[in-house]
Structure formats: C-alpha cells, structure tokens
Chains A and B, each alone.
Chain A
C-alpha cells in the first residue's frame, strides 16, 4: 500500500526524517518496503500483513506512527451539526450474520464534476485514477479512513429501498467494469425493489452508478462479514480495493464517521443537501475484554518488564487497561479485530517494546544428544558413493509430463501409471507428480548434451508418488541416475560397454553400504535395451533396474546419435535402507595360508559368467574362500558362439594349512564338475 507522508501529517505531527519513520515502522511490524520521492512529498510502500486491516489506511498508519514516536493523534471532526431533513430511504437486512450494519445518507442536489487538484494529487500518489468528484471522494475516504463507501445514483434506485440479501438462484448483474456476471447463490447483494444494484462490498452495478449527470445520491457505509465477501470475490475472481478491506475486517463503529466525513466533503465540493442517517444495526457491537497475568507475559518474552510499563505500552496503541493486582484487563479498540486473546497482547507489548530489546539467551532446556538420524546418515553415504563414482547430483521438480509416460511405453497395469495429478498446474508439462525419476534423468541428459557436454554422469535422490487409492499417495525415496559418454577423449582409454561403467558404480555403492546377496538378472523393463539391461535383486528382492535405453526410446526422444549407449538406473532407496546391516561386525582375519588355482574354460556363449561363478561357489563352499572372474575372451581362434572364461579360485581352510596335494585333488574334481556342468573344455 502506498502512503503519502504529507497526508499522514494531517493526523500526526511528524518531525522525523522519512528514513527514520520507515525504520521505526518497520521495527514495529509495519514493514516499509520502499521509499519514493514524489513532487516534494515522500511515498512509503507499506507491506500490511493480513492480521492488520486497521493499517490499510492513512489513519491506521498514522496511529502506528503516533505510537512509535509517542506523538498525539489528531482526528478530524465528523459531526454533522446542522438541522437536516429526514431521509425517505429505508434499509432492510435479510441476514444480519452477513451484513451486521448498514448505514446510508441521501444527498440531494449535487453537481458532479472534476475533483479539486489536491484530491486528485493524493489519489494519484496512492495509485488510484481520478474519475469524478463523487467516486473520487469515496475513494479518498477509503484510503484515508480505510472504510469502503459506495455511492448510488438515488434516482436509479427503485422504490426508495435498499435490501441486503443473498443472490439466490439465477441472479445476474452488469458491474461497473461493464462485465455481465452470473452471481453465486450464496453471494451477498444490494437490491432495490426491482433487482440487484450492487455486489455487496465488492463492486457496484452499472445501472445505479454515479455519472456526471447524477443529481441525487445515496451514500452507503456498511459492515459485511469478511468470510462472505472473500468467498464471493474468489468465486467471481473479482477483487477491488473495497473487497480487499472488507474481507480483512472493517470497523463496525467507525463506519458512521466515515459516512459523515464523506458526506461533509461532498457537500463542500459538490454542494447538495445532506439528509438524516439511515442506520440498520441489528446487533450492537460488544467490546472485547482480555484478562492476563503480568508474569505470563514476562515468562513468554523472557523479559523483566514492570507492570506499569506493560500497561503504558498498551495504552499508547489505544488499548485501555485496568490493573487487577497480579493480572490486568485489556479492552482493545474496535478497529483492532486481531486482538482477542492473551497471546495477541503479548505480541503488542513485544513489538512496541522492541524485539531487539528482548535479551537473547540459550534455552534452559536440557538439550538431547543431537544426532543425525540413521536415514540421513545412510542417504549421505549414498550421495558420497555416487559422487566418488563421478556422478553429479541434480535436483528436479517433482512434476512429470504426461507425455513422458508414453515415451517409456509402460504396460497398462504398471504402478507407475497410477499418477497423482495436480488440479491447477502451471504448465501441462508439470501436471503430474513423478512416479519414476527416469524422465527427469533423460531431460537432464538432453539438456546437458545440447549444451555441448559429452561426458554425463548424473544422479538424483528424490521422492516419487504413487496413487494407492488412499487419501494420500505413497511417497518413496528413489535414487535415479543416467550415464553417457560419447567418446573417450582421455589418453588412457577404457573401451568397455557403458553398461559396465554404470554397473560398476552401483556395485561400488552396494559395497560401500556393505550390502551382500546382490544379483543382476535380465530386466523386464520395456524401455530398456533387451540385451543390455538388468533388474537388481538383493537376496532375491527386486530393488530396481539399470540398463541402456532401448532404441525405441532413443528414437522417441529425437536423439540423432547413432546407437548411443545411454544407461539409466533407478533404485528404491527406502527398500534398500531396510536391507543394510544394522551394524558392522568384525570377523577374524584368516590364520592359515591360502592356495590359488586358475582355470580357463571355453564354453558356449549363452552361458552367463554369473551362473558359472555361482556354481563354483556352491561346490566345496567350505574350502573355497573366493572366486574371481579374471579373464573374458571372445573371437581369435575360438569357435563361433563360444567364449573363454578365466577364474581364479582361492582355497583356504579355517582350521589348518591346506597342502598342495589336498588342493590339487579338490581342484581337479572341481574342474571336472565345471566341465560337465558347462559342457565346455579346458582352454589349451
């Protein structure tokens, strides 16, 4: 809200520099976001928080200035003293819950024209455009007293009656802005004897509006229930300076002064005869009172304020008080609708006393042994392991494009198709919540590739959201990643399929997490390359997948590279966490020496190395300490569709030194059974 300093000075004698005024107001809770010089005046940009509708006016800000500087507030005289004629208008209120008071005055024989310069200037400085003298005066009062007023052309109101009632079914009105509007049933309207003439508190109707030829007006000053104004304004997507104030709460008592002051201004500027007030006020306002113990306030603030100091602060901001020994009673003024409970008084005392005058201390409470929780520690381990394998961390929006699911060609019953949709997305591309991290990974890859980066290793740890038919979806933490290297431009070339680089990185991760029982089996994911993908199992349980994107997907994302190896992976971190050992347990370093034997076997190509490895491990498991694949060879003089695998087997007994002879016997029988199992033969 824009507030002119010169206008403020009508209400309080400010001597301080504008910057000092701004600083004091800011530190009292009325944040000044900007100071602007306008034609010798200073205009403050004031950020008024939703709890302080009383500050949405020059008068309200002036009250705060007066309190901050300990100055006196000057209020204009709003009494209408002269003998005036009675009004022939009547006001009916249908529902006093929605309209708690409605006042008005008839003013006859006015001349509508341009406003005087000083009014125009003040309106413009406040950001409003002058229209005509009547509209300008009501706007002027809205800015000055914070109370919205509305002027009807009295001759366009049928039946000399104002009725405040709900719209009901099929009500329509053309508003001042020229729009034809169908009104929600619950919305509150102002009616004359024939139909609606205004949407209460939000905008007047075109038919009853004041024009330059208007002679007689009916001036409205009313109290409308905030929730009702807010609901209607939202439903109609129609906001005005007036609705903004009504929905935050206006002063039900002071509205009469606003009515009188604007009537007087109209008489001064436009001439005319003011008539007696019409006032329908079904249920009079009952002043609030709050009781609070002095000690409670000091306890909550950590201060040592004396009783009298507290009362003095409250009195300064217009709150009357009565001391009652260990506690006091406070009577907040009508305009402070935000003050209803003791905590509201605590806040008032704190802000006027000054937050910076409250001492800072470390809490007395015994602090617990602060620990990063286990989940956090493990998440950091995962990040660390990925970073060590050269992967950089990305953070993506949790949104997904519906088209992304088509690219992945997920089967109809796939869980990842059970998406949560956002009702009001900013863009169609961000209308679903992610059910997989793969699309984000692909997008990150494409972005970097298009910016000339040729070696891309990225990972993300984030939640995915699956609709399980409950009120809230299931949220699970996932690790997603992507690996792509166009060519090895380093001088120490590594010519291996990208699949194995990514697999190695994941193996390093599992190793770091001390996870055992790992196996890679052909993946069932349709968006992965059939021959270059794997589902990852831990002790038989599927925790994710990895593999090259299938040629179909590569085609769909419009990549022009021939046969690119783009490896993606995604793991269920929440599931992974449940498989980590609770603690590391020391096992004894072997006492007796080991003996190594190598074996190279030529076998059919379709026998996986993993299956042979598993087989070897299952034989004489007690004496075989480890088996490692150290050679993999194809081509050369080997027959077609065959390969040679070399295994190094380490034999060791826990309780004795094995002799060469013992091992030789064991090994020969192992070799024989491997040859039988694989149908292969020893490589010469």
Chain B
C-alpha cells in the first residue's frame, strides 16, 4: 500500500512539472501505459494472498482513476495553452491596409446627365440622340432660324461647310424625331453641343438636354407642371421656381425658368447678381412654324420643348466656380465625384 501512495505522490510531483503535451504523454505512458507502473501493480496482484486481493485491487483502481482524471484535465489545459501560443505566433498587424483597386470616378457632367435622364425616364420620356455634326437645315432653318435672321447672333457657330455646322444646341433632335415618329411623343435628347466661344464662363463644347412633349391639348400649364416636377426632383422639393417671358425662335410663348438662388436662399448674392434667382433652363410651347416644317399639323397637335445646360446645373449642384475644370480632367478634381 505504501508503494501505491508513493506512486501517487511521485505522479503528483511529475505532473506539476510537465509543461507541454510531450511531457504529459511520457507521464501517461510511465503510469498508465501497458508497461506502466500501475499495470505492473495489477500484475503483482497474483502474488498476494487472495483475501487481500479485492482491497488491494480497488486501491490500485482508485489510484488509476485519480491519475487518469488528472491526466485528462492536464491535457485539456495544455492543449489550450498550445493553441493560444500558435495563434499568438500567427498574429497580423491588422492596421496594415487591405489590398484593393480603388474604384474610378464618374465624370461629374456625366453623373448629372444620368440623374437628369433618370428623372425624365421616370416621367415617361424616351431618350433620343442625333448627330453632333448637323445640317444647317436642322440646326437652324427647321427651328425657324433662317439665314440673315438676327437670332443667329444668339449663338456663335462652328462651321464645317456652308451647310454643315457643329450643332449649337440639341434642339435639332426635336425635328429629326418628329420626322420619324408620330405624336403623342415625349422625349429628351441629351448630348454635346458646340459654340465658337471660350472665356471664363464658356467652353467651345458643352452639354445640353433637350426635351419635347407633343400631344393633343398640351398647354403651357403642362409645361409648368413637368418642369416644376423636374426641378423639384433635381434640386429639392422646396426650391422656388419662376417662369419668365423670353424669346427663342422655335417656341412661342417662350419662357426662361429660374430657380431661387441656392447660395443665398434668394436674398441676393454675387452668383445670382443680387437678383435672388438663377436661370436654369429655356422652354416654351412649340412654335407652329416648327410643327409645319416637321410635318405635324399645328391645328391638331400642340406641345412644349425645353433645353438646359448640363454644365451650369452641375456647377450649381457641386458649387464649382470654373467651367474649365470639367475639361482639364485633373484626377484631383475627378476623384471628388
């Protein structure tokens, strides 16, 4: 019995000293292995008197159970420690940056163009396109701007030949569409336009969105309704809007549409030239002469048209003060959008 006690004692000392799973494994073999100390004790049972065997046997089992329990506990503990150590060694500097290619940016003009197209699409307008190099006929004549008419002074034109120009507005698309489609129609025509003009506030190329709606009984009221809805979608529903008489050869009555200055809330500032209003688009009822030239009967149909400069709207939306920034294509500018 004393021997069992000393086995138990030495086991306890050794297990305390064991620091890793290898040490533990050796202890396990030494005590509980097939050739271990406890197996040897079991085998020695045959050499003791039969009457003492049961007591001695259960004493061995008790020690065996005790040792196995401790071994299990110890194994769990050491395994945990081991795992911890491995994870520690695999630790990353999580403050290092991730690997990615930063997405590129959309050009602000194209982004605002898409916004405008989305608004009109949701109102049921189709998108149409026309050539950027255009016949004088479509750019001027069919829009009621004959040669020798002072209205031609309103736009400085780039000429390709006497009859061919770089379109000065997107309005010719109106005519081309009317020639191929019958009413009712509601379209917008976005695109590039060109004017022979370059200074602080003008670039020789810029973008416009033209719009046209034709049906029976379209009135000036409808024009106001559609354009107010558009402006409220683009600039917010509390934006003040006003319609003011103006002149375009291809519409009559014609209207400039102003919005309350978004920089001074209408109080008057440098941007709005103290008027409190900013000109945002031109519009009007389609001039019956234009209908006639496009082959529509002005007695049967009426309609409205409008046009806006995308650069100006973009400058207002993002508080950009120099139109030339759009065409420098400086990445430090582009990356802001």
Contacts and interface: CB of A to CB of B under 8 A. Distances in A.
B328 A370 contact: no
Given A360-B221, A422-B160, A444-B329, A368 B245 contact: no
A384 B255 CA distance: 37
B11 interface: no
B303 to A, nearest CB: 10
A389 B104 contact: yes
B83 interface: no
Interface string B319-332: 00000001111111
A463 B133 CA distance: 11
A430 B218 CA distance: 43
B158 A422 contact: yes
A433 B133 contact: yes
Interface stretch (A122-130, A395-403, A525-533, A636-644): A395-403
Given A362-B226, A376-B117, A392 B335 contact: yes
Given A301-B219, A358-B224, A373 B127 contact: yes
Looking at A302, A370, A398, A471, which has the most chain B CB atoms within 10 Å of its CB? A370
Given A363-B226, A372-B127, A356 B104 contact: no
A456 B331 contact: yes
Interface residues of B, number: 90
Nearest to A344: B252
Interface in B98-156: 99, 101-107, 109-110, 114, 117-118, 120-127, 129, 131-135, 148-151, 153-154
A390 B103 contact: yes
A351 interface: yes
Contacts of A421: 160
Contact of A423 (B109, B159, B192): B159
B105 A364 contact: no
A375 B129 CA distance: 10
A490 interface: yes
Contact of A395 (B253, B288, B326): B326
A370 B103 contact: no
Contact of A457 (B104, B273, B329): B104
Contact of B245 (A355, A373, A433): A355
A368 B244 CA distance: 30
Nearest to B103: A387
A476 B197 CA distance: 25
A451 B330 contact: yes
B65 interface: no
A361 interface: yes
Nearest to B216: A365
Contacts of B252: 343-344, 346-347
Nearest to A231: B148
B56 interface: no
A447 B99 contact: no
Given A300-B302, A397-B204, A50 B159 contact: no
Contacts of A391: 104
Interface stretch (B23-31, B34-42, B161-169): B161-169
Contact of B330 (A52, A367, A397, A448): A448
A77 interface: no
B215 interface: yes
A369 interface: yes
Contacts of A392: 104-107, 331, 334-335
Nearest to A463: B132
A44 B153 CA distance: 23
A655 to B, nearest CB: 42
A473 interface: yes
A300 B287 CA distance: 11
A227 B253 contact: no
Interface string B195-223: 01010000111000000010101111110
A424 B159 contact: yes
Given A363-B215, A395-B327, A472-B133, A230 B148 contact: yes
A193 interface: no
B106 A475 contact: no
A472 B255 contact: no
B246 interface: yes
Contacts of B219: 299-302
B130 to A, nearest CB: 10
Interface stretch (A28-36, A85-93, A616-624, A661-669): A28-36
Contact of B334 (A393, A422, A462): A393
B80 interface: no
24 contacts: A51-B247, A343-B252, A347-B252, A355-B243, A355-B253, A358-B243, A360-B224, A360-B225, A362-B226, A365-B184, A365-B186, A370-B126, A383-B110, A387-B103, A392-B335, A393-B334, A397-B205, A420-B160, A422-B158, A456-B331, A458-B329, A472-B133, A473-B133, A492-B99
**5 nearest CB pairs, A to B:** A302-B221, A29-B245, A367-B124, A302-B219, A49-B247
Interface of A: 26-29, 31, 33-34, 49-52, 226-227, 230-231, 247-248, 299-303, 341, 343-344, 346-347, 350-351, 355-356, 358-373, 375-376, 380, 383, 386-399, 420-426, 430, 433, 444, 447-448, 451, 453, 456-459, 462-463, 465, 471-473, 475, 490-492
